[in-house]
Structure 1
Amino acid sequence: QVLNGKYGPYIKQGRKNYRIPKSIVPEDLTFSDCIKIIEESPAKKSRRKK
């Protein structure tokens, strides 16, 4: 699902969000483009519990 948020467009897959680079126009995204963005996104660092 491609959504437009406070900080710009992003892709929502399940509970995870992936930002769309500014060089890509969100209206022109295809399903395969979205999958490519999700696969190329860096893994988030896990936080330590206190």
Structure 2
Amino acid sequence: MATLPTGQVSNHYRAEHWDLFAVAAVETPPEYDGHDPAEAARRMRVLLSQATG
């Protein structure tokens, strides 16, 4: 799970793809905020639209 300025987003990846991401493993993840795939996509679109202004 990633916490963006627009909120949490998550996706599932196979273990063999773990090295594609430069993220640290943590013992205790942030508490899940209940987002669904549609909300995660909305949050990413909002963040990308802010970045491209």
Q: Higher relative contact order at CA 8 Å, sep ≥6: structure 1 or structure 2?
A: 2
Task: Tell me if both proteins adopt one fold, taking TM over 0.5 as the criterion.
Answer: no
TM-score range, shorter chain: 0.3 to 0.5
**TM-score for both structures, normalised by structure 1:** 0.38
**TM-score for both structures, normalised by structure 2:** 0.37
Larger strand fraction of residues? 1
Larger helix fraction of residues? 2
